[in-house]
Amino acid sequence: MTEAGFNVHATAIVVGKTGLLFSGPSGWGKSMLAFTCMTEARRLGLFTALVADDQVLLSAEAGAVIATCPPSITGLIELRGTGIVHQDHIPKATMHYAVLPGSATGENRIPPEGEMVSLAADFSLPALRLLTGVCSPLAILMAKVPDIGR
């Protein structure tokens, strides 16, 4: 059964069979981190595709969080300071993890194990924390969750 979709400000991609939803405040770098992860995945010979950038429609199917893209922005991703570029894309995908901003200082620099994030209403995903500006974000995510990309 599909529930009504929620529009969230995020970027959704797939690496292998793993759905990653980059969520955070405007200007955090969601699109650039997602794009960099897709570029790394291609270099590793992994399947990767954009689902949606900036606006992600979330729905539930059989207990899974499903991401789709509004038709007007299909296959487009904004790379701040560069412009809007076309990417290989798929119409929808199951999301497995939410990638959120990390903290480099203070007591929050090591996020809690098993952290979950509520995205909208009843939509929750396991959280992975990531700093902007890291040179290999996919490698960092894969170090935390080795099944990404499989």
Quote the percentage of the chain above a pLDDT of 90: 67
pLDDT at residue 139 is higher than 90:
yes
pLDDT bin (cut points 50, 70, 90) of residue 1 is very low
- Which residue, 23, 33, 49, 2, is CA-closest to 118? 23
Domain contains 130: yes
111, part of any domain = yes
Q: For the chain, what is the largest distance between any 2 Cα atoms, rounded to a whole number of angstroms?
A: 43
- What integer pLDDT is reported at residue 106 of this predicted model? 65
77 assigned to some structural domain: yes
1 part of a folded domain: no
Q: Is residue 150 part of a domain?
A: no
Q: Looking at residue 2, what DSSP letter applies? A: B
CATH number at residue 79: 3.40.50.300
pLDDT at 127 > cutoff 90: yes
Q: Is the pTM of this model over 0.95?
A: no
* Domain range for 31: 6-144
Q: Are 12 and 67 in contact (CB under 8 A)?
A: yes
Q: Total structural domains in the chain?
A: 1
